[in-house]
């Protein structure tokens, strides 16, 4: 059921600036929770903003609803409760031009895994008569290319954009089970300045493997002359570690090539954009 939710919900067309890349100058996708940890006897709501921007956590481009002209989308954001099941309430994400915004109800105790739901994005790359590299959305069999187009290749891209929120203590987060995602041993809502955190990168629920570069970037980049990203590399079991130098919100970003056995598709890539919060000492 989890995998079905991830693969069947449709996101409207994204601008070219939203293409997946781990380049420091590229636009990133992200979720921004109003809180990552809440407590109290009564159920809480957490607000989730979604956007695409180069200035991390500063909204720039919202995700358009799948229905043209609609003010909201009920299939943009999903959440897995602490028991691993999708929350039963509809999560309505409102389109606010520069960001999409939704409220998620936290009724159970433990950690919720909140993510965007996405179908694959297909892009076809080619070179024109002048030798310039171009791209269009869609498979090569479904798009109109210039007659002189050459070196034509279609890439299938699937992105995980997620975060974690805990109520009245933490629990082991449920896994999405497809694409790239983070797992423990460090809990994503138990991060403190000066402490080392160790995560495992999973690919379709299994260790992603060795040599994948992971970029760790603190938010509020508009207030720094240098973005200051930290780059680490996974070991043979997909593990990587980092020590937090400052409190705040961070974006964990990475991508990896994947094999694709699909007619009309030449290459595949997974990408991950995870928001985490680091508390003071």
Q: DSSP letters along 199-264, please?
A: EEEEETTEE--S--EEEEEES-GGG-SS---EEEE--TTSEEEEE--S-EEEEEEEEEEE----TT
Q: Are residues 148 and 253 in the same domain?
A: no
Single out the residue of 161, 165, 184, 200 nearest to residue 76, CA to CA: 161
What pTM value is reported for the model?
0.87
Of 155, 176, 198, the position where a domain reaches its end is 155
Q: DSSP letters along 185-216, please?
A: SS-TT--BTT-EEEEEEEETTEE--S--EEEE
Query: Would you place residue 22 in the very low, low, confident or very high pLDDT band (cuts 50, 70, 90)?
Result: very low
- How many domains, in total, are found in the chain? 2
Of 112, 138, 155, the position where a domain reaches its end is 155
Of 138, 155, 172, the position where a domain reaches its end is 155
119 to 4, 102, 122, 204: CA distances (angstroms): 10, 20, 10, 15
Q: Are residues 30 and 146 in the same domain?
A: no
Q: Are residues 83 and 216 in the same domain?
A: yes
Tokens of 107: 């009724």
Q: What is the mean pLDDT of the chain?
A: 89
Q: Are residues 142 and 185 in the same domain?
A: no
Residue 25 has pLDDT above 70, yes or no: no
Task: Of 16-20, 47-51, 56-60, 156-160, give the lowest mean pLDDT range.
Answer: 16-20
Give residue-wise pLDDT tens across range 215-239. 999 998 888 888 889 999 999 999 9
Q: Are residues 134 and 266 in the same domain?
A: no
Give residue-wise pLDDT tens across range 59-111. 999 999 989 999 999 999 999 999 999 999 999 999 999 999 999 999 999 99
Give residue-wise pLDDT tens across range 91-102. 999 999 999 999
Single out the residue of 26, 71, 76 nearest to residue 50, CA to CA: 76
Give first-to-last CA distance, the chain, whole Å.
39
Given this model, what pLDDT does residue 26 score? 56
Number of H helices, E strands in the chain: 1, 19
Given this model, what pLDDT does residue 150 score? 92
- A 10 A CB-CB count for 265 gives 18
Q: Are residues 60 and 106 in the same domain?
A: yes
Q: DSSP letters along 10-62, please?
A: -PPPPPGGGS----TTS-EEEEEES-SEE-SSS-EEEEEEEEEESSTTS--BP
Q: Are residues 80 and 149 in the same domain?
A: no
Given this model, what pLDDT does residue 2 score? 40
Please say whether the dihedral angle defined by the alpha carbons of residues 49, 6, 37 and 226, taken in this order, is positive or negative: negative
Given this model, what pLDDT does residue 281 score? 82
What is the spatial distance between Cα 125 and Cα 245, in angstroms, rounded to a whole number? 40
Omega of the bond leading into 126 within 30 degrees of 0 (cis): no
Do residues 272 and 258 lie in contact, with contact meaning Cβ atoms separated by under 8 Å? no
Do residues 11 and 117 lie in contact, with contact meaning Cβ atoms separated by under 8 Å? yes
Q: Are residues 56 and 128 in the same domain?
A: no
What is the spatial distance between Cα 72 and Cα 43, in angstroms, rounded to a whole number? 24
Q: Are residues 166 and 264 in the same domain?
A: yes
Tokens of 80: 């897995």
Residue 24 has pLDDT above 60, yes or no: no
Q: Are residues 95 and 52 in the same domain?
A: yes
Given this model, what pLDDT does residue 10 score? 32
Phi-psi region of 78 (alpha: psi -120 to 50; beta: other; left: phi over 0): beta
**Interval 10-30 mean pLDDT:** 48
Q: Give 102's contacts (C-beta < 8 A, 6+ positions apart).
A: 47, 48, 50, 76, 77, 91, 92, 93, 94
Q: Are residues 148 and 232 in the same domain?
A: no
Residue 127: give the domain boundaries: 123-155
Q: Are residues 133 and 205 in the same domain?
A: no
Give residue-wise pLDDT tens across range 140-177. 989 999 999 999 999 999 999 999 999 999 999 999 99
């Amino acid at each position: 059921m989890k995998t079905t939710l991830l693969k069947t919900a449709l996101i409207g067309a994204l601008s070219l600036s939203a293409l997946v890349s781990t380049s420091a100058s590229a636009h990133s996708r992200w979720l921004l929770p109003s809180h990552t940890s809440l407590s109290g006897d009564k159920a809480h709501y957490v607000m989730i903003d979604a956007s695409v921007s180069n200035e991390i956590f500063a909204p720039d481009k919202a995700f358009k609803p799948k229905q043209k002209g609609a003010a909201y989308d009920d299939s943009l954001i999903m959440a897995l409760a602490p028991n691993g099941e999708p929350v039963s309430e509809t999560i309505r994400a409102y389109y606010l031009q520069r960001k999409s915004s939704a409220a998620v109800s936290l009724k159970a105790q433990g950690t919720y895994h909140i993510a965007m739901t996405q179908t694959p994005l297909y892009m076809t790359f080619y070179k024109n008569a002048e030798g310039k590299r171009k791209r269009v959305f869609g498979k090569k069999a479904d798009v109109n290319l210039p007659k002189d187009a050459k070196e034509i290749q279609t890439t299938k891209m699937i992105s995980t954009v997620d975060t974690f929120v805990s109520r009245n203590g933490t629990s082991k987060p449920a896994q999405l089970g497809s694409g790239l995602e983070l797992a423990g041993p460090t809990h994503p809502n138990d991060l403190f300045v000066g402490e080392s955190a160790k995560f495992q990168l999973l690919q379709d629920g299994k260790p992603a493997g060795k040599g994948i570069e992971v970029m760790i970037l603190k938010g509020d980049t508009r207030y720094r002359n240098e973005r200051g990203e930290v780059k680490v590399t996974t070991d043979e079991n997909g593990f990587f570690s980092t020590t937090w130098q400052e409190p705040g919100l961070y974006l964990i970003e990475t991508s990896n090539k994947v094999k694709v056995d699909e007619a009309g598709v030449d290459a595949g890539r997974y990408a991950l954009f995870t928001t985490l919060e680091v508390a003071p000492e």
